[in-house]
Chains A and B, each alone.
Chain A
């Protein structure tokens, strides 16, 4: 089975985020960057399919040079190959451009399954996976929490967790899935896995190597104008020492006039 898993390197969700003074992005100085958590689950899903059916797992990322570390982690977890798609035209790319670059890499490799995380925890857009399925012209199921491929690899049964219900879909292969964190428990890269990954080559491909012209990638439809910090939290209001009736009155006044929730 030929499995492709798409990754992104993102700031650790526990890291404090500082915005650059000019608002053009976040300050990465000293920032801990990790593989997007959803992509760890995507990688795990890919490795389990390979363990079940044989074949190869190829990890691919669009990003700057530092994104190699996320690919190295995928290799250490057990992926067979990895490629970094890096091109000046992809700096500041929007989701559709990223999907086009990924599709150019994936199409000639004729995968049986393409797996992405449900979203990346940096911008929470959840767009690249569905857009990639469209560009590849593959059927897709998003945010899956269960994945079973039938023994002759013709179709997959997936569960999607909805509000108060589980949706069960049957999807013909090849297909693209984006995965929920409840799908599986990602393995730790083992120490021998880390050493094996160190010896593997990470292919670096620019747009020319992908056979994409600048026109095919297009210009970004969405351009980042500026980032601003959310407003800081203001102090709450305390009602002290009042009789219960007066305290209730004060709280109702606050909720209706200040907070405007009543």
Chain B
């Protein structure tokens, strides 16, 4: 057992921490207020290698492991959860499944632009009546004249407005459930795909969330990702990685709340004492630190398992569940420590609080994660994997 980060992990952490503090953090409040896509920051992130960090060098990526991804996503989210989710989706939900399931030709065509920041990706799974019950989705794909023709409406697509490449999950087989689904690489420039309604959100406001409309969208046969009927498997395998990225996002938010609260209680005085001298404050900070630590170690564990090529569905769910609930709880607690200052936009606490909520919802709600975990617990007669 070795819990020490490697030399390159530490160098990576120091680099991204400085990048996030100097380039992202000063812009974060304004990006949130204006709900504006940070194109210039994403370009700089791409120049550093953050848009394809787990993609091998031969496809233009940095060739790092999943633990490195957790480190990077935490540091980015510490500065801005909105900026971070743009990066995380590109890495975990788009580049990763192309690497794992794509043909050599697909990897050569799509990965270098995604990793170099010339193209942005999005993941189109959710529909109006298929969110937590994703495998019930109704978008249809049929072969016509040697091409796939896809029709349907995808909802809540992160990066939907700016993305150039969409991984679209659709029902290609006349079979209900996961076995009827296939995944497709759909370029925004293909005929029949367009952006629909753009959502106004509580948090992560600088990342776009949009409806993607497919109306007889024609997709070349060679843009099928994986095999026919493999879409459900690809969607779920992809979500294991995505959930680790969202866990890291939540950890970044919890840490942000802890660090800001620690600084604030040291200078805030009341009843003739520093706020930090009250035991209620000390216990709140202790609990925030404890839960954040636990969440981080669980995220590292899930990433480490995935790096070894092992199944990590349960561990990824555990990490995201504890991390997202920690982020919600810790930001809530930190707002309370700040009092009125926690509620106004002059301080970042209210933003962290708003940003945290989504981590309990997307890429598997807390309820779905409990379902995933409990199925595994019951299936393995309650024994946890060592």
Contact = CB atoms under 8 A, between A and B. Distances in A.
Interface of A: 34, 68-69, 72-73, 76, 188-195, 197-198
B57 A192 contact: yes
Nearest to B47: A190
Task: Give the interface SS of chain B, mostly helix, strand, loop or mixed.
Answer: helix
Nearest to B12: A194
A34 B19 CA distance: 15
Interface in B330-368: none
Contact of B63 (A72, A188, A189, A195): A195
Given A34-B14, A195-B62, A188 B8 contact: no
Contacts of A72: 7-8, 11
A190 B50 CA distance: 9
Given A76-B11, A188-B15, A197-B8, 4 more contacts: A72-B11, A76-B15, A191-B48, A198-B8
Interface secondary structure of A, over-half rule:
helix
Contacts of B50: 191
A73 B49 contact: no
Given A194-B12, A195-B63, A188 B19 contact: yes
A193 B12 CA distance: 10
A196 to B, nearest CB: 9
9 contacts: A72-B8, A188-B15, A190-B47, A190-B48, A191-B50, A192-B61, A194-B11, A194-B62, A197-B8
A190 B49 contact: yes
Nearest to B56: A195
A195 B10 CA distance: 12
Nearest to B10: A69
A44 to B, nearest CB: 14
Contacts of B48: 188, 190-191
A194 B14 contact: no
Q: How large is the interface on B (under 10, 10 to 19, 20 to 34, 35 or more residues)?
A: 20 to 34
B15 A189 contact: yes
Interface of B: 7-8, 10-12, 14-15, 18-19, 47-50, 53, 57, 61-64, 68
Contact of B53 (A73, A76, A191, A193): A191
Contacts of B10: 69
A159 B381 CA distance: 73
A195 B8 contact: yes
B8 A194 contact: yes
A191 B47 contact: no
A189 B53 CA distance: 14
Given A190-B49, A191-B53, A195-B62, A68 B14 contact: no
B11 A189 contact: yes
Contacts of A76: 11, 15
B48 to A, nearest CB: 5
A61 to B, nearest CB: 15
A191 B7 CA distance: 13
Nearest to A196: B57
B7 A69 contact: yes
Contacts of A73: 11, 14
B19 A195 contact: no
Contacts of B63: 192, 195
B64 A191 contact: yes
Nearest to A35: B14
A76 B8 CA distance: 9
4 closest A-B pairs (Cβ-Cβ)? A191-B49, A191-B62, A198-B8, A190-B49
A14 B50 CA distance: 26
A191 B72 CA distance: 10
A158 B62 CA distance: 37
Given A188-B48, A191-B50, A195-B64, A69 B18 contact: no
B11 A195 contact: no
A69 B19 CA distance: 19
A62 to B, nearest CB: 19
A72 B8 CA distance: 8
A193 B18 CA distance: 16
A75 to B, nearest CB: 10
B255 to A, nearest CB: 16
Contacts of A68: 7
Contact of B18 (A188, A191, A192): A188
A96 to B, nearest CB: 31
B115 to A, nearest CB: 10
Contacts of A34: 14
A226 to B, nearest CB: 31
Contacts of A191: 12, 48-50, 53, 62, 64, 68
A200 to B, nearest CB: 11
A227 to B, nearest CB: 26
B308 to A, nearest CB: 19
B169 to A, nearest CB: 29
A189 B49 CA distance: 10
